[in-house]
Amino acid sequence: MLRWWFWLFGGLLPYVLALTDQRPSIVFNGIVDALQSLNLTGPEHSTVIGSTECDRQLLVLVAGMQAKEFWTVKMLDSWGKWPAGIFAGNMYELGHYDECVEVRHDYGATILAGTIRGRYCLLTVPLDNLLPSIRPPKLRIMPGTSGSKLAAHLGVCIPGSCSAEQFHQFLTSVVPSLPPIQLKCNEIAPSLGTSQWIAIGIFSVVLLLAAASTLYEAVTLCRSRTPNRHLVMFSLYHNGKKLLATHQRTPTTLPVSVKSGTIDCINGIRVISMVWVVFSHNYVRIAMQPIYNSHIILTWLESYHSVLVVSSTVSVDTFFLLSGLLTCWSILNALDKHGRLNLPVMYLHRYLRLTPALAALVLFTATLMKHAGSGPFWDGAMTLSENPCQRYWWSALLYVQNYVNPQDVCLGHSWYLSVDMQLYMLAPFLIYPLWRWGRRVLIVIVALIIASMVAVFVLFFVHHLRLSFLAVDDERLRHVYTYYPTHTRAGAWLVGVIFGYVLQRTKKHYVLLPRWSIALGWALAGTGMLAILFADHPIQQPDYETLPQVADASYESLSRVCWATAIGWIVFACVNGYGGPINDFLGATVWQPLGRLSYSIYLLHLPLQLMMAGTARVPYYFTDLLAVYQFWGDIGFTLTLALLWTLLFESPIIGLERLLFGRKRKPSKHSVAKETPNLENGSNARVIPKSLSLTIQTARL
């Protein structure tokens, strides 16, 4: 009896209700009526049994529908009937994905026997002729949404042996009055192959090394012995302590009148910028899903708080600024100490620092990611990630894909690593002359910044580019010509080199400025950053075409350098004691472990968001509140995985480098004694108090 009631209310009743639905569900009702009235004994179907497996399964499906078999009711029940709220922007009725793919039916008892498996497809029904009063949108709402045609998208379930073309041909022959539909089906997930098992083996070896090293350290510490530092390089406990450690500059270690040898505010700037990137990509993830109320997106774009998302690309220029600043700082320190650079070792160190974590993610994306989930849009998500990494994994690991394959980037956000690595390779040839000939080389750097800005400006006109997200750019020409290339992104990095030079040359003393110049610097920095954010607002509006193209070109060429300059002032002011509460906030110790995790957060967040978008079973109802709520889930999940990813693929590289280059452990007390001023007798040979800075600067002049 329980099974009967389950069949009645769980399968038959929805099916009957769908048949009696008076809404314009023309596709579902028309197809079901045609299949139920199909004459299986007619001469046109007499040769079906001897044809392909798809034809045989279609015949079994039709016979099961006419006999009211429960498995056919379940298959039809998984279909999307018709989307409600088309005029509100809901163009999707995805049906029930899991109910479809879980269908299994054994048929036949002879050599023609087989098993029917459900295969999920998306049926696109154009509405241009059905709803002539609605004007189809000419623009896409956000990157990743469908094209310009006004159409309804319905989830359908077909026999697994049939392709989209075969089932489309079958429907066309059975239902001649069917509108001109399109059908796209998901692939049935294949079993694990050789490449997948190799990837599983590699990840298993890394996990076993981490487990063995952690166990060795735990046993050694329990016996009150000192572990061998080479045997704990994979230890989760050993690396975790270093990763989560914090170091605070307190009055007991260094007086306020003495300038710190570290740039503490960079940690806060790095983490906040990283959080901003994840936040904006969360909105991109939402735009990749079907949106239940997509008409609200244009209203959202008109709101001024939308600039936090649409203008967030400048956060990347913050990372370029920090990269140029720290690169210049470290190279100048090395030149001051040794007078020369060991370029092969320097490049190898950089490559080993970045590549293992990236290579592990590329390996997972190219082999195992497609087996990590499912959903109506899973195949589309894998097309954006798995296919490029299978073809261009080598250009990703050589950091050249921003020029080699800019339209098909493996891990779309990894273009930044290619640009950063290329700039790092060029850095010694720019910073060595700066060390050798001093401030005169700054003129050359400023000229290069201007050249990069002019290149962006000119390319906008040459290729007729627009900056708006609403502008359809299927070939991603703006990214290819102005967003990905190193020569167009070098401006912010070169600004960082200038600030790095100034900070390194004044690291032993404070740069004293009059109060009016400090206030002016903060006012210009704050006003400039707000102007950059809000100046992008009119460019992103639906009427963006009314603006001259020179507005887009000017904004794109100026905003990057101006934003980097404003962030550079914040760093300069904080280092020289003019940051006040801003420096206290950005230099808080809580940012230190998060800053060490920022690289893994950067690598992992977008693939995770892409996977979550691919697993969506229902349209997304968009509000800022729900988007922010989803963002905190993204950042929390990403942070958790980033911690594990860093411990497995980043932290062990430090120990491996020690073995490779034969570096010795730095003595703690001895080195601290050399670097830290003697606070008892007040002597200080390396760092100059703030009170003496003005006298020294006057003497230099």
Judged against a pLDDT cut of 90, whether residue 84 lies above it is answered with: no
Residue pair 155/79 in contact (Cβ under 8 Å)? The answer is yes
Q: Note the pLDDT of residue 312.
A: 92
Among 185, 220, 255, the domain-final residue is 185
Residue 41 has what pLDDT?
55
Beta bridge partners of 123: 154, 183
Specify the residue for token string 């769908």: 18
CA end-to-end distance (rounded Å), the chain = 99
Q: Identify whether the C-beta of residue 413 lies closer than 8 Å to the C-beta of residue 602.
A: yes
Is the confidence at residue 453, as pLDDT, over 50? yes
123/234 same-domain check: no
Segments in 223-264 forming alpha helices (H): 236-244
Same domain, 181 and 196: no
- Work out how many domains the chain is built from and give that number: 3
Same-domain status, 77 and 211: no
Please state, in angstroms and rounded to a whole number, the distance separating the CA atoms of residues 276 and 314.
Answer: 10
Q: Can you give the pLDDT at residue 692? A: 37
Last residue of a domain, one of 185, 201, 235: 185
Do 33 and 134 belong to one domain?
yes
Domain membership flag for residue 130: yes
- Tell whether the model's pLDDT for residue 507 goes beyond 90: no
Domain range for 596 is 271-662
Average pLDDT, stretch 407-412? Answer: 91
Which one of 185, 204, 223 terminates a domain?
185
Range from 5-9, 514-518, 667-671 that averages highest in pLDDT: 514-518
Per DSSP, what are the bridge partners of residue 9?
Answer: none
- Three-state SS at 494: helix
What's the predicted TM-score (pTM) here?
Answer: 0.85
Q: How many Cβ atoms from other residues are within 10 Å of residue 413's Cβ?
A: 15
Mean pLDDT value of segment 50-78 = 84
Question: Is 686 within a domain?
Answer: no
Residues 505 and 641 in one domain: yes
Q: Choose the weakest-confidence range: 43-47, 200-204, 341-345.
A: 43-47
Does residue 135 fall inside a structural domain? yes
- The answer on 353 and 461 residing in a single domain is yes
Residue 677 located in a structural domain:
no
- 334 and 453: one domain? yes
Q: Indicate the average pLDDT of the chain.
A: 83
Predicted pLDDT of residue 600: 95
Q: What percent of the chain has pLDDT over 90?
A: 55
Question: Strand 104-107 relative to strand 92-93: parallel, antiparallel, unpaired?
Answer: unpaired
pLDDT at 188 over 90: no
Lowest mean pLDDT among 50-64, 272-286, 498-512: 50-64
Q: Are 341 and 331 in contact (CB under 8 A)?
A: yes
Q: What is the rounded CA–CA span in Å between residue 281 and residue 272? A: 14
Looking at residue 483, its pLDDT comes to 94
Phi then psi dihedrals of residue 182, to 5 deg:
-125, 145
Residue 470, token pair as written in the block: 């609403």
Domain assignment present for residue 669? The answer is no
pLDDT level of residue 32 (50, 70, 90 thresholds): low
pLDDT at 29: 59
Note whether 196 and 177 are same-domain residues.
no
107-121, 162-176, 220-234: the lowest-pLDDT one: 107-121
* Chain centre to alpha carbon of residue 353: 20
Q: Domain for residue 117, yes or no?
A: yes
Residue 590: the pLDDT is 92
**Token pair in block for residue 406:** 């800019």
Residue 167 or 661, more confident: 167
Shared domain for 146 and 279, answered yes or no, is no
- Same domain for 130 and 55: yes
Please tell me whether residues 112 and 225 are part of one structural domain: no
- Segment among 24-28, 135-139, 156-160, 499-503 with least mean pLDDT: 135-139
DSSP strand E in 422-465: where? none
Mean pLDDT, range 632-638, rounded to an integer: 94
| Residues in Cβ contact with 499 at an 8 Å cutoff, skipping those fewer than 6 apart | 321, 324, 325, 568, 571, 572
Asked, for residue 11, whether it belongs to a domain, the answer is no
How many percent of the chain have pLDDT more than 70? 82
Sign of the dihedral defined by the CA atoms of residues 681, 682, 687, 688, in that order: negative
**Do 285 and 328 belong to one domain?**
yes
Cα distance between residue 690 and residue 695, in whole Å: 10
Segment 23-34 mean pLDDT = 55
What are the pLDDT digits (tens) for 174-185? 777 777 888 899
pLDDT band at 55 (very low <50, low <70, confident <90, very high): confident
Summarize the confidence of residues 111-122 as an average pLDDT. Answer: 83
Predicted confidence (pLDDT) at residue 54 exceeds the cutoff of 70: yes
Contacts of 249 (CB under 8 A, 6+ apart): 260, 262, 264, 587
Residue 439 CB partners (closer than 8 Å, separation 6+): none
Q: Which amino acid is at 456?
A: V
pLDDT of residue 63: 84
Question: What pLDDT, on the 0 to 100 scale, is given for residue 138?
Answer: 38
pLDDT digits (tens, 9 = 90+) for 637-692: 999 999 999 999 999 988 888 777 765 444 444 333 333 333 333 333 344 444 33
- Length of the chain (residues): 701
CA–CA separation, 526 and 520 (whole Å): 10
Q: Is the predicted pLDDT of residue 626 greater than 90, yes or no?
A: yes
The reply to whether 163 falls in a domain is yes
| One-letter amino acid for residue 232 of the chain | V
> Between 651-661 and 236-244, two packed helices, what is the crossing angle to 10 degrees?
100
Provide the pLDDT for residue 257: 54
Q: What's the CA gap between 97 and 157, in Å, rounded?
A: 8
What pLDDT does residue 1 have?
Answer: 40
Given a contact cutoff of 8 angstroms between Cβ atoms, the answer to whether 565 and 495 are in contact is yes
pLDDT-derived band at 111 (thresholds 50, 70, 90) equals low
Exposure string of 130-167, with b = 16+ CB inside 10 Å and e = fewer, is eeeeeeebeebbbebbbeeebbbbbbbbbbbbbebebb
- According to DSSP, residue 371 is labeled G
Q: What is the mean pLDDT of residues 296-322?
A: 93
CA distances from 28 to 17, 141, 183, 563 (A): 12, 28, 14, 54
User: For residue 279, what pLDDT band results from cuts at 50, 70 and 90?
Assistant: very high
Mean pLDDT, to the nearest integer, of 200-207?
A: 96
